[in-house]
């Protein structure tokens, strides 16, 4: 009788331990931006959904808490983190095909066509997951973060204006190639070095979406904002693949549902964000010059895209060609 009681007690205790282990299980998720920037808003939405619909909790690590973008990717591949948001701008060395996002003028411009592109793209939703999987990553989604603008110390109306200007780019060989084709001296740097680099004049410009130009105060250290229309910032959200594969089907579905909710939210959240960021900048610094290049002025930048595309194929071969062709087909499907 006593033994039976003890056994029942031990069983109950084991279940309680198991239950509390589940209840306390925490997934760690790092991203490249602050908590109130686009990647942070996406992350919070994901966290809210997971925590409201399961016993898991999600611990968020914004930019700077665990290092630069390359550091959080390494930590995810090593299984220290379960989730990471890394932009293709930093994934180029690992997955050369991800550089396709830096062929200028390839993606649809902002708006519903762009959102539809991200929702339905076969390249993004079917081809890229296979490429990321080869590096131990479960690609969960990619989403846009807004039209990329250049912020510089000198006016930019043509590639000639970029001559001898050190323009900071993310550490991506094809992005380096783009800026070379645009006439600049491309300077790849991790994000943490950009503000100081502009302050000390080691670099004379950089590119990013408007919300980021505002939130990171790039306008304090540059004087011109130029809309060239050459790209929209893309980012990617992924999980450590061993971790993801080891989850039950229900938990995998929970994650996919959370991603869908966060994806829809982040598109809606960004509606009008470029415009409001610009307003905020002009309130803080009314003398900031904002130039939207005309079609005619964009043409030389568009012409440069051809050589960048050729370089992309040289770097990635047949696999890159297949991705590029599919990206174009996906774009045409939402713009034609
Ligand atoms: O330019 C960069 O490095 C950064 N830009 C954005 C919009 N997000 C994160 C990334 O580190």
Q: Where are the beta strands (DSSP E) in the chain?
A: 26-30, 57-61, 83-86, 137-152, 166-169, 185-188, 205-209, 224-227, 232-240, 289-292
**pTM value > 0.75:** yes
CA separation for the pair 74, 81 (Å, rounded): 9
Q: What is the pLDDT of residue 24?
A: 58
Tell me which DSSP letter residue 59 carries: E
CA separation for the pair 251, 259 (Å, rounded): 12
What CATH number does the domain containing 102 carry?
3.40.190.170
- Write phi, then psi, for 138 (nearest 5 degrees): -95, 105
Count of H-run helices and E-run strands, the chain: 14, 10
DSSP string, 33-52: S-TTSHHHHHHHHHHHHHHH
Average pLDDT over residues 165-173: 97
Q: Separation of 248 CA from ligand 1 center, angstroms?
A: 33
Q: Bigger pLDDT: 184 or 20?
A: 184
Q: Separation of 146 CA from ligand 1 center, angstroms?
A: 11
81 Cβ inside 6 Å of ligand 1: no
Q: Separation of 89 CA from ligand 1 center, angstroms?
A: 8
Number of domains in the chain: 1
CA separation for the pair 211, 230 (Å, rounded): 17
Q: Separation of 151 CA from ligand 1 center, angstroms?
A: 14
147 Cβ inside 6 Å of ligand 1: no
HSE at residue 59, side-chain half, CA atoms within 13 A, is 10
Q: Separation of 213 CA from ligand 1 center, angstroms?
A: 10
From the CA of 191, give the closest atom in ligand 1. 3
From the CA of 68, give the closest atom in ligand 1. 11
Q: Separation of 170 CA from ligand 1 center, angstroms?
A: 8
32 Cβ inside 6 Å of ligand 1: yes
Cross-strand bridge partners of residue 188: 169
110 band by pLDDT with thresholds 50, 70 and 90 = confident
- Write phi, then psi, for 108 (nearest 5 degrees): -60, 155
User: pLDDT tens digits for 246-305?
Assistant: 999 999 999 999 999 999 999 999 999 999 999 999 999 999 999 999 999 999 999 999
Question: Mean of the per-residue pLDDT values for the chain?
Answer: 93
311 Cβ inside 6 Å of ligand 1: no
Nearest residue to 33 (alpha-carbon basis) of 260, 195, 211: 211
Cβ atoms of 169 and 204 closer than 8 Å: no
16 band by pLDDT with thresholds 50, 70 and 90 = very low
Name 126's Cβ contacts closer than 8 Å, sequence gap at least 6.
none
**178 CB neighbour count, 10 Å cutoff:** 28
CA separation for the pair 180, 265 (Å, rounded): 36
Q: Supply the range of the domain harboring residue 306.
A: 2-335
Burial (CB < 10 A; 0-12, 13-18, 19+), residue 161, is middle
**Mutation choice for ligand 1 from 31, 32, 171, CB with most ligand atoms inside 8 A:** 32
Average pLDDT over residues 44-55: 98
208 Cβ inside 6 Å of ligand 1: yes
User: pLDDT tens digits for 134-164?
Assistant: 999 999 999 999 999 999 999 999 999 999 9
Nearest residue to 37 (alpha-carbon basis) of 224, 255, 209, 171: 209
**Mutation choice for ligand 1 from 30, 31, 33, 171, CB with most ligand atoms inside 8 A:** 33
């Amino acid at each position: 009788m006593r033994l039976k009681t003890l056994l029942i007690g031990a069983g109950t205790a084991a279940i309680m331990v198991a239950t509390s282990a589940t209840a306390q299980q925490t997934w760690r998720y790092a991203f490249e931006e602050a908590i109130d920037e686009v990647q942070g808003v996406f992350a919070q939405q994901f966290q809210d959904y997971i925590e409201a619909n399961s016993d898991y909790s999600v611990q968020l690590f914004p930019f700077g808490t665990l290092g630069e973008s390359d550091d959080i990717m390494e930590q995810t591949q090593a299984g220290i983190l379960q989730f990471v948001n890394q932009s293709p701008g930093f994934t180029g060395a690992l997955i050369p095909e991800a550089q396709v996002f830096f062929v200028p003028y390839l993606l649809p411009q902002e708006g519903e066509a762009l959102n539809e592109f991200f929702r339905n793209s076969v390249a993004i939703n079917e081809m890229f997951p296979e490429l990321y999987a080869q590096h131990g990553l479960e690609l969960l989604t990619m989403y846009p973060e807004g039209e990329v603008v250049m912020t510089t110390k000198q006016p930019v109306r043509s590639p000639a204006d970029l001559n001898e200007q050190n323009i900071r780019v993310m550490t991506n060989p094809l992005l380096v190639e783009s800026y070379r084709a645009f006439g600049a001296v491309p300077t790849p740097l991790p994000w943490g070095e950009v503000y100081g680099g502009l302050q000390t004049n080691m670099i004379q410009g950089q590119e990013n979406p408007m919300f980021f130009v505002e939130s990171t105060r790039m306008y304090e250290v540059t004087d011109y904002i130029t809309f060239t229309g050459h790209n929209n910032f893309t980012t990617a959200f992924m999980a450590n693949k061993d971790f993801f594969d080891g989850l039950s089907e229900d938990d995998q579905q929970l994650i996919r549902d959370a991603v869908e909710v966060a994806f829809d939210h982040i598109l809606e959240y960004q509606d009008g964000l470029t415009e409001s960021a610009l307003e905020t900048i002009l309130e803080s610094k009314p003398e900031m010059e904002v130039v939207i290049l005309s079609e005619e002025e964009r043409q030389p930048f568009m012409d440069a895209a051809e050589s960048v595309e050729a370089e992309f194929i040289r770097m990635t071969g047949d696999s890159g060609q297949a991705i590029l062709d599919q990206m174009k087909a996906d774009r045409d499907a939402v713009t034609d």
